Every structure is written in structure tokens, then in C-alpha cells.
Chains A and B, each alone.
Chain A
């Protein structure tokens, strides 16, 4: 068991934390996030024989996480897919918040971080996983496209809209802080 720990324990610890961060940002409820993260972790271990390329373990892990998340959803298949329109995010001469007052990351208040997490959670299903995989998990455009089974151009389009939507939410929050 001690020898097994050399590979097993670090893998469990690293991916448990990563998966929980991912699922917590997705659903926002601690208990649900714990359940999905742990279920995903087990699924990963039982699916090891299907891992074709050990170099691409991260995209593979998040692909499983996506599938577990999707299977947990209780939304109707007939529910309309919410889309973000680029036009709605155009500043079009509108006044921006004072972003200069946002401090460096280490000094950002918990309240602002919570506004950020709320903005991420608010993203429609089409966009949220792209933002989480690209900007939070640091996967490449190609890896994200593989995880989500979409074209690389779709990753770029959705990422841009997700980033703009988060920026707009934070802009509103900062204006309210005047």
C-alpha cells in the first residue's frame, strides 16, 4: 500500500481539488459539488484502461467530469439553449466602471471574488464549461474542443462571449461599489 501511494495519493489529491473547484464553480452548492467531484474521481479510476494517451490525462479527466455533470442535470431536453448575443455585450459608448480601482489579485476582496464566482455560475451552459476549461484549468483551445466535442472555432467564439459576459457582470458590480 505504501508503494501504491506513490502514484495513487498524489493523483487523488491533485484531481480531487481540481475537480471540486470545477464542480463548485459550475453548480455553486458544496454538497452537490462534492458528490459530483467524488463520483467523477471514481469513474476516472475505473476508466483508466480506456486512457489512450497518458500525456493527455487532463483533457481526459475533464471529459469524464463533463459527462458526470451532464448526467446529473435534470433539465428537460426540450429546454431552450440560452445563447449570448455579442451585440448585448458591446459597450456602445456606455460608461465603463473604474477598473483601475481593482487591486492586484492577492488583494482582491472576498466580496469581489464572490461576485466573480457568481458571474461564472450565471453563464449559460453553452459557455460556462469553455471558460472553466480554458481560463480556469488552462487547457488549450484544441484540448477544450476535444473535451467538449466541438470545433476549435466554436471554442474561440464561446470563450470570447463568456469572457465578455463575465466582464460585463463585474463592470456592473464595480459600478455599484462607487
Chain B
């Protein structure tokens, strides 16, 4: 990945991988990448790295919600439900 075209592609790789580019630009990039060994290797490494982030496992699970906080949440939830029910035309729950 050294020439000007590679650098231009490098700047737009995420949009390319996310399918957020205009079809003609996307096709142009795909054509270049296909024939450029350094670009192929770089794109593969980026795709793998993004895949790892997307599937990042939870390191540890959270402990239980504190009882006091849970009680406050439930009270707030109850109050919200009551006020929603009291409205003549509710706009939807949660």
C-alpha cells in the first residue's frame, strides 16, 4: 500500500466495508483492491480486526444491581406507568 491510489482507498476503507459508498466509487475501489496485493492484505487485516471488535466478548459479567438502587428504579418505573396510564392518549410504553 504505497501509491496514491492505495492512499485514497485507505482513507475510505471503512465506508467501503460498511457499504456506505456510492456504487460507482465502490466498484472502482473493489477493482483496485482485487489487483493490489498490499491492499488485499491490509483490507483482510482490517476486516478481521473489525470483526473482533464487533464480537468482543464480555470480560466479566456485572454483579447484581444494588437492592437500594433496584427499589428506586422500580419506584420510578411504577410512577412512569401510572402517569402514562393517566394520559388520555398514551404515546407508547418502553
Residue positions of A touching B, CB distance < 8 A: 1, 4, 7-8, 11-12, 16-17, 20-21, 24-25, 30, 33-34, 37-38, 41-42, 45-46, 48-49, 51-52, 54, 57, 86, 90-93, 96-97, 99, 102, 105, 108, 112-114, 116-117, 120, 131, 135-136, 138, 141, 156, 159-160, 163-164, 166-167, 170-171
**21 contacting pairs across A/B (C-beta < 8 A):** A4-B74, A7-B93, A11-B94, A20-B58, A20-B61, A30-B60, A42-B69, A42-B73, A45-B73, A45-B76, A45-B80, A48-B77, A54-B94, A90-B7, A99-B45, A102-B48, A116-B56, A117-B59, A160-B11, A160-B12, A160-B13
Q: How far is the CA of A112 from the CA of B49 in the complex (A)?
A: 11
Cβ-closest chain A residue relative to B49: A167
Summed over the interface, the residue pairs from A and B with CB atoms below 8 Å come to a total of: 137
B36-78 interface bits toward A, Cβ cutoff 8 Å, 1 = contact, 0 = none: 0010011011101111111111111111011001101110111
B1-12 interface bits toward A, Cβ cutoff 8 Å, 1 = contact, 0 = none: 110000100111
Q: How far is the CA of A58 from the CA of B82 in the complex (A)?
A: 23
Cβ-closest chain B residue relative to A137: B54
Nearest-Cβ distance from residue B36 to partner chain A, whole angstroms: 12
Top 3 closest A-B pairs, CB basis?
A20-B62, A160-B14, A167-B49
How many B residues touch the partner, as a band?
35 or more
Measured between beta carbons, the chain B residues less than 8 angstroms from A170 are: 49, 52
Q: How far is the CA of A120 from the CA of B13 in the complex (A)?
A: 19
Q: How far is the CA of A41 from the CA of B64 in the complex (A)?
A: 12
Beyond A45-B76, A141-B20, list 14 extra A-B contacts (CB 8 Å): A8-B77, A34-B63, A37-B62, A46-B72, A54-B92, A54-B93, A90-B1, A90-B10, A99-B41, A108-B52, A113-B52, A120-B53, A160-B11, A171-B45
